[in-house]
Amino acid sequence: MPAPAERRIIFKHIDEEGYSNDLACYQKHGGYQVLQKALTARPEDIREDVKKSGLRGRGGAGFSCGLKWSFVDRKSGKPIYLVVNADESEPGTFKDRYIIHQDPHQLIEGTMISCFANDVKQAYIYIRGEFPEGARILERAIQEARDAGFVGRNICGTDYSCDIFVHRGAGAYICGEETGLIESLEGKRANPRIKPPYFPAVLGLYQCPTIVNNVETLCHVKHILDMGPDEYLKIGTPNNTGTRIFCVSGHVKKPGYYEYACGEITMGQLLYDVCGGPREGREFKAVIPGGSSAKILRFGETFTLKNQDGSERVLKVEDIPLDFDTLAACGTMGGSGGVIVMDDSVNMVEALANINAFYAHESCGQCTPCREGSLWMKKISSRMVHGEAREEDGELIKSVADQIAGRTICAFGEACSWPTQSFVLKFGDEFKAYNEDKKTKSADRLELV
Amino acid sequence: MNLKPETLARIDEVITHYPEKRSGTLPLLHLIQEDVGYISDAAVEWIAEKLELEPINVYEVVTFYPMFRRKPIGRRHIKVCRTLSCALAGGYKTCAKFESEFNTHRGEVSPDGEVTVEFVECLASCGTAPVVLIDETLHENVDEAKAKAISDQIKAEAANRG
């Protein structure tokens, strides 16, 4: 079956000829009308609409946005903050970059609606340090919106006031973790906080109730209010509503970003029909479906899943519908939507060594299993590539990974151990044979680490 | 500290964004690094005083975040993405090309003082890999040929400057 048509909601104007990132262009396309409408509604009704829409966070964990908002302590008497997580850093993910660069007002409108819905008076956009141009674009866009009365005092002539400031990170991946991000915004090292008690909804920024939402998630809020939650629910599949942006990179003919109704496209359709299949003379070998921490899938493996009526179905990698729940049932995750494809030119020991170098570099160093473990995993996999590789190294490195996950303050422990666990599980043969393989390795094989 | 008047003005403005001064740490570090080029001991102490902190509070931030540096770098900062999608597209070759073009090693200032070449982790532009961030400009699909062309451009600009 050929791939369905793209359904562009968030990326509707991305790469559209003549569409610019200034306020005039945004308003010409109906910009800020949803905010004006939202300001006439009751905040609790907006929250109810978002809950009803089934919106799940697009940053990685896929947690219900409405539920997250419902946890906010509204009785503490303290100010409530909203922080936009624009620290897009999960390798393989590059969707927020285009929203920020090409359609910043969409994010600002979604943010202001979400602020109004949650009685927020001050919002921050935490943007990664490597997006200097994005930060400038956002600052200019916020100023435009402020001048036009969509941000700041007495928004759209109402008695509601809320400002937004841009806060730049400085190259630390861990700031994408929401409590690490909050620490960083407070001017400290981004060491994630322990939960309980530091649930952001209760004790977040400056120990006040805080909502941290991904860029794309906040853009969805605008569209949910625009079309109404009932219409939004019709997009995608039950419990996996709305669209997803897939960022495809690696070994396909046409890498890029593609937006589809959640669960309506399969991995095979995405990689073959949309992305043009593997490079000439190559075959797909493996794919990481949701950012580099998601567990890898090996082409050729199958998954036996239970249907609702109790019967079973068997899926190949190509058959997996790209939603949150099916990918989870296949032992991996939709994560941030970053799809990294590897063909048969890639040696999996070398690919893992590349990933392990990333996580060792990015561990905040707070919890011993992660600080030491991520480094050991890097050292072992790197030694396999550059030095001596032993048959048992795969099992050794996996035993390190097995002792990290579940033993750390934040989910980085899982993020750094899942690649090793899944690579060794699914490509154990390559780890065992690596030393032999290396002897016959051609000199022009691509360096990955 | 000898900061430009506009840097000082921006520093005073940015502190007002936050209910607690300490939140100004990262913004001030960025502003001072943009002005002076790196974060000296004097800068750490200056920021601490400005934000009513101890120098250690600033120092621990400087050493945590990869983008802050304690030493001057070359005139241009070439950051080559090292992470998986870029590596799968030849990012290591791209980095090596820049190093050989400027006769330098990763993390060092080139002998002519013109560039510092570095590997950095994911720049979030994996669909146009390999990518390179030069100062504040992102360059996409930078294979060896494009790395050579960019290097030639930088060298030509340096020659024109005399």
Does B88 contact A342 at a Cβ distance shorter than 8 Å? yes
Q: Which one of B66, B68, B83 has the shortest CB-CB distance to A91?
A: B83
Q: Say what angle helices A132-147 and A104-117 make with each other, to 10 degrees.
A: 60
- Which domain CATH number covers B139? 3.40.30.10
Tally of domains within chain B: 2
Q: What confidence tier does B39 reach under pLDDT thresholds 50, 70, 90?
A: very high
For B133, the closest chain A residue by CA position comes to A130
Question: Do residues B155 and B91 both lie within one domain?
Answer: yes
Inter-residue contact A90 to A333 (CB < 8 Å): no
Does B65 contact A170 at a Cβ distance shorter than 8 Å? yes
Could you give the CA distance from residue A76 to residue A366 in angstroms, rounded to a whole number? 30
Question: Do residues B121 and B60 both lie within one domain?
Answer: no
Helices (H), A54-196: 65-70, 95-102, 104-117, 132-147, 178-185
Question: Do residues B29 and B9 both lie within one domain?
Answer: yes
Domain of B144? Answer: 76-161
With CA atoms as reference, report the closest residue to A424 among A382, A380, A394, A384: A394
Within a domain: residue B131? yes
Does A354 contact B137 at a Cβ distance shorter than 8 Å? no
CA dist list (Å): B155 to A160, A309, B104, B133: 54, 68, 14, 17
Inter-residue contact A385 to A347 (CB < 8 Å): no
Contacts of B121 in chain A (CB under 8 A): 89, 91, 171, 173, 358, 361-362
Inter-residue contact A41 to A303 (CB < 8 Å): no
Within a domain: residue B111? yes
Write out the H or E segment, with its range, that includes residue A292: none
Could you give the CA distance from residue A72 to residue A120 in angstroms, rounded to a whole number? 11
**Residue A106 pLDDT:** 98
CA dihedral (A228, A230, A235, A237) positive or negative: positive
Within a domain: residue B33? yes
For B63, the closest chain A residue by CA position comes to A189
Contacts of B94 in chain A (CB under 8 A): none
Within a domain: residue B143? yes
**Residue B119 pLDDT:** 97
Question: Do residues B59 and B80 both lie within one domain?
Answer: no
pLDDT at B162 over 80: no
Question: Do residues B123 and B95 both lie within one domain?
Answer: yes
Within a domain: residue B71? no
Distance from CA of B126 to the nearest CA of A (A): 6
> Is the ipTM value over 0.85, yes or no?
yes
Within a domain: residue B26? yes
Q: Map residue B159 onto helix, strand or coil.
A: helix
Does A340 contact B126 at a Cβ distance shorter than 8 Å? yes
Contacts of A186 in chain B (CB under 8 A): 20, 22-23
Could you give the CA distance from residue B150 to residue A230 in angstroms, rounded to a whole number? 52
Q: Say what angle helices B144-161 and B91-101 make with each other, to 10 degrees.
A: 30
Question: Do residues B81 and B154 both lie within one domain?
Answer: yes
Best of A99, A124, A130, A146 to substitute, by most chain B Cβ atoms within 10 angstroms, is A130
Question: Do residues B59 and B104 both lie within one domain?
Answer: no
For A167, the closest chain B residue by CA position comes to B27
Within a domain: residue B70? no
Question: Do residues B44 and B87 both lie within one domain?
Answer: no
Domain stop point among B64, B90, B105: B64
- Per the prediction, chain B carries an average pLDDT of 97
Q: Which two tokens stand for residue A305?
A: 């899943």
- Which domain CATH number covers B24? 1.10.10
Distance from CA of A255 to the nearest CA of B (A): 5
Does A361 contact B121 at a Cβ distance shorter than 8 Å? yes
Question: Do residues B147 and B113 both lie within one domain?
Answer: yes
Which domains are assigned to chain A? 23-233 (3.40.50.11540), 242-343 (3.10.20.600), 348-448 (1.20.1440.230)
**Residue A308 pLDDT:** 87
Within chain A, which residues score under 50 in pLDDT?
A: none
pLDDT at B18 over 80: yes
Q: Give the rounded distance of the alpha carbon of A307 from its chain centre.
A: 28
Query: How does pLDDT run across A294-318, given as a tens digit for each residue?
Result: 999 999 999 999 998 999 999 999 9
With 0-12 / 13-18 / 19 or more C-beta atoms within 10 angstroms meaning exposed / middle / buried, residue A94 is: buried
CA dist list (Å): B77 to A409, B87, B152: 35, 20, 15
pLDDT at B1 over 90: no
Interface of B with A in 64-83 (CB under 8 A): 64-68, 79, 82-83
Best of A81, A100, A146, A167 to substitute, by most chain B Cβ atoms within 10 angstroms, is A167
Parallel/antiparallel/unpaired status of strands A243-250 and A256-261: antiparallel
Could you give the CA distance from residue A172 to residue A446 in angstroms, rounded to a whole number? 27
Query: How does pLDDT run across B80-118, given as a tens digit for each residue?
Result: 999 999 999 999 999 999 999 999 999 999 999 999 999
**Residue A132 pLDDT:** 96
What is the DSSP secondary-structure string of A213-275? Answer: EEHHHHHHHHHHHHH-HHHHHTSEETTEESEEEEEEEESSSS-EEEEEETTSSBHHIIIIIIT
How many CA atoms within 13 Å lie on the side-chain side of A77?
0
B22 touches chain A (CB under 8 A): yes
Span B46-52, mean pLDDT? Answer: 98
Question: Do residues B51 and B84 both lie within one domain?
Answer: no
B161 touches chain A (CB under 8 A): no
Predicted structure pTM score = 0.96
Q: Give the rounded distance of the alpha carbon of A353 from its chain centre.
A: 22
B110 touches chain A (CB under 8 A): no
With CA atoms as reference, report the closest residue to A267 among A310, A318, A226, A213: A318
